[in-house]
Amino acid sequence: MTAPLALVTGGVRRVGAAIAGKLAQAGYALALHGHSDAEPDDDLKSILSAQKTDWHGFVADFDESNAPIALLAEVRAHFGRTPDVLVNSASIFGQDDASNIDAKSLEQHLRVNVMVPVLLATELAKQTASGQRAAVVQILDQRVRNPNRDQLSYTLSKQALAESVRTLAIACAEKLRVNGVAPGLTLTAGEYGDKQLANITEMMPLDRLPNPDDIAEAVLYFAQADAVTGQTLCVDGGANLRAFDRDFVHLGHD
């Protein structure tokens, strides 16, 4: 039996790699996208090797206007078929706010974080065979429920992507199921001190933060939930239930 094929953008590092690893363990073949290289991180490499996963890496710069269509064409040429699952995990995260936002920053965030995922999804719908239905999972952010004043271009782009979930679920229902996963604070990359992180954790209704595996589990659920579309699942320790004035990096200081 041929393994189902999943395309994961931003799938070689960080949360994207965790998602790819979970899909590999569930028996998916993988098309892994990277911005400048498509070399999986060490943990993902180990999983791919252990699972004997059929995978290939694809490099695409999403600042280029033809990148979404070209990426799908490359995936189809290599695997001989279109993906059964598309996970739009790649994104950019700028630091502008209302005092310094400019057209260049806003345009880039909208292109990479909204236009590319939407174009990939709609092109996948066009290429999906009659009688088949692919799954699309948009990786969002819990702040779309309760936005704060920081990272304005990023926040606006993720809000737009969140609205694409229900709209594409209706517009492409014949060929796609479209759902969203909205993570909370997950990978801190050394930006947070131990005490600050502990204080932020205590702000969460569940008194915990999500880890990459939590997010990957949610993606796998949507990939396989044949009766579910147009839904968004927050994986955030309950952060979306509370409003925060600032981004987490500004909170939790003693």
The enclosing domain of 123 has a CATH number of: 3.40.50.720
**Per-residue pLDDT band at 95 (split at 50, 70, 90):** very high
Q: Would you state the pLDDT for residue 40? A: 98
pLDDT above 80 (res 15):
yes
Q: pLDDT digits over 115-170, tens only?
A: 999 999 999 999 999 999 999 999 999 999 999 999 999 999 999 999 999 999 99
Burial of 81 by CB count in 10 Å (0-12 exposed, 13-18 middle, 19+ buried)?
A: middle
Residue 177 in contact with residue 136, Cβ under 8 Å? yes
Asked, for residue 205, whether it belongs to a domain, the answer is no
Asked, for residue 171, whether it belongs to a domain, the answer is yes
Mean pLDDT, range 196-211, rounded to an integer: 96
In this structure, the number of other CB atoms found within 10 A of the CB of residue 171 comes to: 15
Percent of the chain with pLDDT over 70: 100
Residue 105 in contact with residue 94, Cβ under 8 Å? yes
Task: Please tell me the distance from the alpha carbon of residue 179 to that of residue 246, in angstroms, as a whole number.
Answer: 27
pLDDT above 90 (res 93):
yes
Q: What is the DSSP string of 100-158?
A: T--HHHHHHHHIIIIIHHHHHHHHHHHHSPTT--EEEEEE--GGGTS--SSSHHHHHHH
Asked, for residue 152, whether it belongs to a domain, the answer is yes
Q: pLDDT digits over 35-50, tens only?
A: 999 999 999 999 999 9
Rg (alpha carbons) of the chain, rounded to whole number: 18
The residue with tokens 């791919």 is: 48
Model confidence pTM above 0.75: yes
pLDDT above 90 (res 188):
no
Q: Would you state the pLDDT for residue 146? A: 93
Asked, for residue 109, whether it belongs to a domain, the answer is yes
**Per-residue pLDDT band at 69 (split at 50, 70, 90):** very high
Asked, for residue 251, whether it belongs to a domain, the answer is no
The helix, strand and coil proportions of the chain, stated in percent and rounded to the nearest 5, come to 45, 15, 40
Q: pLDDT digits over 219-231, tens only?
A: 999 999 999 999 9
In 54-174, where do the E strands start and end? 55-59, 85-88, 134-139
- Structural domains of the chain, count: 1
Structure tokens at 203: 């702000």
- Domain span at residue 13 reads 5-190+210-243
Asked, for residue 86, whether it belongs to a domain, the answer is yes
Residue 219 in contact with residue 181, Cβ under 8 Å? yes
Asked, for residue 174, whether it belongs to a domain, the answer is yes
Asked, for residue 90, whether it belongs to a domain, the answer is yes
**Per-residue pLDDT band at 193 (split at 50, 70, 90):** confident
In this structure, the number of other CB atoms found within 10 A of the CB of residue 146 comes to: 12
Q: What is the mean pLDDT of the chain?
A: 96
In this structure, the number of other CB atoms found within 10 A of the CB of residue 184 comes to: 23
